[in-house]
Amino acid sequence: MPAVSVTLQPVYGLPNRPTVYASPFDVPPAIPSQWDDEFTSSVLGSKWIVPTTSGAGCGVATALGGGWVSVGPAAGLSSRRMFGIRQAAPTGSFTLTAKLCDSTATVNDDRAGIFVGINGGKGNVAGPFRQNVACNAIGVTTASNTADWSSYDGYQGAAFGSTPANTIAWIRIVWNASAATLSFYASLNGNAWTNLGSRSSMSQPDQIGIGIYSNSAATNTSQTIQCDWFRVTTP
C-alpha cells in the first residue's frame, strides 16, 4: 500500500465555520451519529480508512482551517482510479448529507464528492462535478477496496449548469433499503434541494465516504474535494 500523505494546513480560500449559520443544514446535530464528522479535530477520526483503494495513495489535509477537510491524490489519477477516505456504512436505510467544495481550478474528467459503494459491487459518487455540469451523481459497475474501480455506469440528472471553482454545494444520498433504491439530491444554498435522480435494483452499501473517481483520463495532483461536515441519519 502506498504511503498516505497527511498535511497539516488550513484549506485555502474556504470560509471558516461561523457562529451563525446561513443554512439550517449547517447546524451540527445535538446528538451526532457514529458516522458523523464535523472535521474540527486536528487528526482524522479512527473510523476513517485511508485510502479508498489499496492501489492508490491519498493526501488528506487534517488541520481544518475553520473545520474543513481536503481529500486529494498523492499522485496523478489514472483511468478508473478512486482516491478518498471511507468508513463502514449503516445497516438498512440511511441518509448521507455533506457540505462540499471542489476548489480545483483545472477541469478534469473526474467525479469528486461523497460516495456509497459495495466492495465488489456497485459504486456511486455524488458531488459538485466540474467536468461538465455541477451537482451530479454517477455510478460505476464495480467498486473495490483493493484495486481500481471499474467502468462508468451512467449518471443521474444534471442541475444548475456549470459552476466555477470554489462553488459550495450541499449533497445528499438517500438509501432506501426496502425499495433497493438510491436517490441523489443537491443544493447550492443549503435550503432549496433538487432531486438529481435515482438508481433502482441496488444492493445494500457496505461503505460510505468522500473521494475522487477518475472516469477516463489522468487527473493532476492538485485535484481535491473539500468537505465541511459529513453526517448520516438512520430511521
What order of strands is seen across the sheet that includes strand 5-7? 5-7, 58-61, 69-73, 225-233, 94-101, 168-176, 181-187, 194-199
Tell me the pLDDT tens digit for each residue of 156-177: 766 666 667 777 889 999 999 9
* Residue 56 main-chain phi, psi, to 5 deg: -145, 140
Find the domain containing 205 and state its range: 5-13+30-233
Q: Which amino acid is at 77?
A: L
What's the whole-number mean pLDDT along residues 227-235? 94
Give the lowest-confidence range in 33-37, 68-72, 157-161, 175-179: 157-161
Residue tagged 492508490 (cell numbers)? 56
Residue tagged 459538485 (cell numbers)? 128
Q: Which amino acid is at 234?
A: T
Sign of the CA dihedral running 131, 104, 135, 32:
positive
In a domain, 150, yes or no: yes
Angstrom CA distances, 98 to 4, 82, 123, 148, 220, stand at: 23, 19, 18, 24, 24
- Smallest CA-to-CA distance from 22 within 218, 190, 200 is with 190
**58-61 and 5-7 strand pairing:** parallel
In a domain, 19, yes or no: no
Q: Where is mean pLDDT largest: 35-44, 47-56, 159-168?
A: 35-44
Q: Give the CATH number, domain containing residue 62.
A: 2.60.120.200
What order of strands is seen across the sheet that includes strand 110-117? 82-88, 207-214, 110-117, 123-127, 136-140, 152-156
In a domain, 128, yes or no: yes
**123-127 and 136-140 strand pairing:** antiparallel
Tell me the pLDDT tens digit for each residue of 174-208: 999 999 999 999 998 888 898 989 999 999 999 99
In a domain, 107, yes or no: yes
- Per-residue H/E/C for 14-48: CCCCCCCCCCHHHCCCCCCCCCCECCCCCCCCCCC
Report how far residue 155's alpha carbon sits from residue 177's, in angstroms, rounded to the nearest whole number: 21
In a domain, 191, yes or no: yes
In a domain, 24, yes or no: no
Look at residue 126 in the predicted model and tell me its pLDDT. 92
Look at residue 135 in the predicted model and tell me its pLDDT. 77
Please report which confidence band the pLDDT of residue 9 belongs to, taking 50, 70 and 90 as the band edges: very low
Burial class of 46 by CB neighbour count within 10 A (0 to 12, 13 to 18, 19+): exposed
In a domain, 21, yes or no: no
In a domain, 25, yes or no: no
Domain count of the fold of the chain: 1
Q: How far is CA 159 from the centre of its chain?
A: 17
